[in-house]
């Protein structure tokens, strides 16, 4: 391939986004409109004002980064809004050549006395299906000039939450008022895991994976081992936010204790100075062995460049990101947006940054672009997934 890697080329190639938070990826005009309808008070009622005050290109720290979710979640409390937000998210991805997405969110965060977690999931699925039908009926797809669009839903359990975060969490804390907090967190995870497995098995909802998100320090993944064991025993795939705000040990625990098939972020995989276990004396060796294991098992890393530079003070500039080191270790890497709104980014932008900062070759770009399809939790049979990946490869090579 001799094609110069331009932004236009990156927009045209088929892409995936397999680490994509629904509540961090709303359209700003939609947020403003829904807030007005639902009488949710925003710091500003203009897109420019919200970009200046809340959804910035640079944040002081993780706390400021997370501030915007209070406003997005506040308007995601009825089926119609959830369906619209999901449909628009799929449309935005389709517009820039993304042909497979896995949308993740915590349904328990949006549930209340008039809306169950199941109803939340159904509304999001309907919205994604609307966009899927419109694209897959297009003349280009029918003629074989474009690949069809597919999606999956990943349900997120939270390492930590408070009663104020949703009516569901408030009720759970009330019922378990005498239990330690970490037992409450684990119970919510297990209940979500059981619901997800049931909805896939009995009702065919396109839930393809189970995730654990939230603060890593002080809230280890193995506290939620029961939920992940349940998913593992019922063939529901697992991805875990790990190595985003904690060291390599968090990634190790996600894989060994919770059977993670993929890792969300994995940013500090090689950060041997962040290892806290005193029994690990050869820290660099530990990181290298962990990286070798991840590479050999083809455990895909969901890398979110912009998000990482916004939430880590020690990584304000992209050259500080270990992407180049990940590529040099032949890791399976899929570039993702994390939060399109909160991070002010698109999948095309993430790829463009990677190409420029890591001096990525055309061959490496092809590998990274296809890794998301190959590492996806595709909502179909393995044979159907192979056929879809073959379609994607043919389309990619035709563009090139």
**pLDDT, position 1:** 43
Give the whole-angstrom CA distance, residue 350 versus residue 247: 23
> How many residues are given for the chain?
400
Alpha carbon distances (Å) from 358 to 140, 219, 347:
34, 33, 16
Three-class SS of residue 15?
strand
List the pLDDT tens digit at each of the 400 positions of the chain. 445 799 999 999 999 999 999 999 999 999 999 999 999 999 999 999 999 999 998 898 878 898 999 999 999 999 999 999 999 999 999 999 999 999 999 999 999 999 999 999 999 999 999 999 999 999 999 999 999 999 999 999 999 999 999 999 999 999 999 999 999 999 999 999 999 999 999 999 999 999 999 888 889 999 999 999 999 999 999 999 999 888 999 999 999 999 999 999 999 999 999 999 999 999 999 999 999 999 999 999 999 999 999 988 778 778 889 999 999 999 999 999 999 999 999 999 999 999 998 888 999 999 999 999 999 999 999 999 999 999 999 999 999 8
Give the whole-angstrom CA distance, residue 373 versus residue 250: 25
**pLDDT, position 60:** 84
pLDDT tens-digit profile of 9-66? 999 999 999 999 999 999 999 999 999 999 999 999 999 999 999 999 889 887 889 8
Write down all domains in the chain, each with its CATH number in brackets: 7-399 (3.20.20.140)
pLDDT tens-digit profile of 103-159? 999 999 999 999 999 999 999 999 999 999 999 999 999 999 999 999 999 999 999
**pLDDT, position 62:** 79
Q: Tell me if 219 sits within 8 A of 163, measured CB to CB.
A: no
Query: Phi and psi dihedrals of 325, rounded to 5?
Result: -65, -40
Report the candidate in 33, 162, 150 with the shortest Cα–Cα distance to residue 99: 150
**pLDDT, position 3:** 56
Give the whole-angstrom CA distance, residue 348 versus residue 337: 9
Give the whole-angstrom CA distance, residue 58 versus residue 303: 18
What are the structure tokens assigned to 127, written together? Answer: 């919205």
Exposure of 96 by Cβ count < 10 A (0-12 exposed, 13-18 middle, 19+ buried)?
middle
Residues catalogued as catalytic: 244
**pLDDT, position 129:** 98
The residue with tokens 């590479």 is: 295
What are the structure tokens assigned to 117, written together? Answer: 């977690």
pTM over 0.85: yes
**pLDDT, position 211:** 98
Neighbours of 143 (CB within 10 A): 8
Give the whole-angstrom CA distance, residue 86 versus residue 176: 33
Give the whole-angstrom CA distance, residue 118 versus residue 197: 12
**pLDDT, position 2:** 45
């Amino acid at each position: 391939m001799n094609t110069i890697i331009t932004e236009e080329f990156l927009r045209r190639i088929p892409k995936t986004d397999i680490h994509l938070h629904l509540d961090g990826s709303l359209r700003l005009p939609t947020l403003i409109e829904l807030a007005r309808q639902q009488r949710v008070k925003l710091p500003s009622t203009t897109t420019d004002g919200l970009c200046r005050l809340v959804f910035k290109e640079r944040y002081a720290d993780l706390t400021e980064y997370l501030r915007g979710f209070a406003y997005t979640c506040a308007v995601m409390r009825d089926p119609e809004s959830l369906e619209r937000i999901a449909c628009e998210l799929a449309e935005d991805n389709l517009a820039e050549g993304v042909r497979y997405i896995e949308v993740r969110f915590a349904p328990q965060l949006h549930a209340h006395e008039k809306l169950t977690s199941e109803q939340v999931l159904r509304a999001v699925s309907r919205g994604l299906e609307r966009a899927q039908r419109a694209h897959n009926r297009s003349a280009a797809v029918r003629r074989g000039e474009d690949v069809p669009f597919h999606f999956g839903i990943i349900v997120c359990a939270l390492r930590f939450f408070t009663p104020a975060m949703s009516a569901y969490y408030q009720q759970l804390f009330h019922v378990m008022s005498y239990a330690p907090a970490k037992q409450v967190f684990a119970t919510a995870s297990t209940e979500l895991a059981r619901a997800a497995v049931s909805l896939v098995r009995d009702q065919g909802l396109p839930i393809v994976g189970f995730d654990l998100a939230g603060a890593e320090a002080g809230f280890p993944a193995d506290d939620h081992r029961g939920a992940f064991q349940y998913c593992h025993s019922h063939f529901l795939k697992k991805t875990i936010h790990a190595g985003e705000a904690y060291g390599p040990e968090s990634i190790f625990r996600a894989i060994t204790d919770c059977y993670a098939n993929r890792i969300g972020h994995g940013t500090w995989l090689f950060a041997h100075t962040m290892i806290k276990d005193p029994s690990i004396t050869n820290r660099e060796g530990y990181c290298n062995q962990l990286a070798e294991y991840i590479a050999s098992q083809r455990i895909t890393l969901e890398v979110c460049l912009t998000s990482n530079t916004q939430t880590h003070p020690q990584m304000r500039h992209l050259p500080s990101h270990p992407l180049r080191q990940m590529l040099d270790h032949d890791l399976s890497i899929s570039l993702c947006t994390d939060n399109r709104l909160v991070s002010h980014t698109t999948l095309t932008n993430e790829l463009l940054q990677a190409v420029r900062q890591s001096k990525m070759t055309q061959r490496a770009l092809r590998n990274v672009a296809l890794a998301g399809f190959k590492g996806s939790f595709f909502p179909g049979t393995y044979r159907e997934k192979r056929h879809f990946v073959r379609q994607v490869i043919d389309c990619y090579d035709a563009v090139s």
